[in-house]
């Protein structure tokens, strides 16, 4: 029995009334499904399909030659924060032909995690572009595949990242590491909301 299966029966508490949605997004094969799987307290719903010869022309396996399955809709997981608050995690599909689903997935989100693989940094750029257009707060997490190591400044420059966007490194296979990414996101969202609260309203300015 895998560890996810042993988590399958964690029931949602009756007092849970506040659902917060987080989306995990990024290029093809950057570890989105792996992250949702490692932190979810329930056995995650995953919509992975085996990659076959039929998709060889559109599935770009450069840098991820051992990959055998891909997300075709989304992953879904859950983390109970306290008696009232529950985090719902959605892992986006990474392949370009499924990107049309992203805008729907972003709707109503507290924030997003953008995963990056340093072997294919550019692949996660589109996710950042979409999130910025959508006005969704996000953090960037560099997932450790043992690829070339770049300084945070180099990653920021490659992704044209705003200085205020947090950038962390992680191993999506590790529950603790993935939890730290989510904590970074929640703290970032909290900081943004706190800044909004102290900013004087338009009326106070006149």
Q: From the CB of 170, what's the least distance to ligand GTP, in Å?
A: 7
143 binding ligand GTP? (CB under 6 A): yes
Q: From the CB of 177, what's the least distance to ligand GTP, in Å?
A: 8
Following DSSP, what letter does each residue of 72-126 receive, concatenated?
A: SS-EEEEEE-SSSEEEEEEEPP-SGGGGGGHHHHHTT-SEEEEEEEGGGGGGGHH
Give the angle 31-178-67 at the CA atoms, nearest 5°.
15
C-beta closer to ligand GTP: residue 23 or 171: 171
Host H or E run for residue 21: strand 18-26
Q: From the CB of 98, what's the least distance to ligand GTP, in Å?
A: 8
Q: From the CB of 102, what's the least distance to ligand GTP, in Å?
A: 12
Q: CB under 6 A: which stretch of 10-18, 102-110, 142-150, 192-200 binds ligand GTP?
A: 142-150
* C-alpha to C-alpha distances, 151 to 38, 83, 102, 155, 165, nearest whole angstrom: 26, 40, 29, 6, 15
109 binding ligand GTP? (CB under 6 A): no
Closest CA to 96 of 56, 123, 133: 123
**For residue 171, how far is the Cα from the chain centroid?**
13
- Judged by beta carbon distances under 5 to 8 A according to partner kind, the member of ligand GTP, Mg ion, none in contact with residue 118 is none
Pattern of binders to ligand GTP over 6-35, x per CB under 6 A? ----------------------xxxxxxx-
71 binding ligand GTP? (CB under 6 A): yes
Give the residues lining the site for ligand GTP (CB under 6 A): 28-34, 67, 70-71, 93-95, 143-146, 171-173
């Amino acid at each position: 029995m895998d560890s996810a299966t042993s988590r399958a029966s964690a029931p949602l508490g009756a007092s849970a009334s506040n659902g917060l949605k987080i989306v995990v997004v990024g290029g093809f094969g950057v570890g989105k499904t792996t992250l949702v799987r490692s932190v979810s307290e329930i056995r995650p719903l995953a919509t992975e399909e085996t990659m076959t010869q039929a998709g060889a022309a559109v599935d770009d396996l450069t840098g991820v030659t051992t990959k055998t399955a891909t997300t075709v809709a989304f992953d879904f997981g859950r983390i109970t924060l306290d008696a009232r608050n529950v985090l719902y995690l959605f892992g986006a599909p990474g392949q370009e032909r499924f990107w049309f689903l992203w805008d729907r997935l972003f709707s109503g989100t507290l924030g997003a995690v953008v995963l990056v693989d340093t072997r294919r940094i550019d692949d996660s750029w589109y996710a950042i572009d979409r999130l910025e257009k959508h006005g969704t707060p996000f953090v960037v997490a560099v997932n450790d595949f043992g690829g070339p190591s770049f300084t945070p400044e180099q990653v920021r420059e490659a992704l044209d990242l705003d200085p205020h966007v947090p950038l962390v490194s992680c191993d999506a296979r590790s529950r603790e590491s993935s939890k730290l990414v989510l904590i970074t996101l929640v703290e970032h969202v909290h900081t943004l909301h706190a800044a909004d609260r102290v900013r004087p309203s338009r009326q106070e300015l006149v």
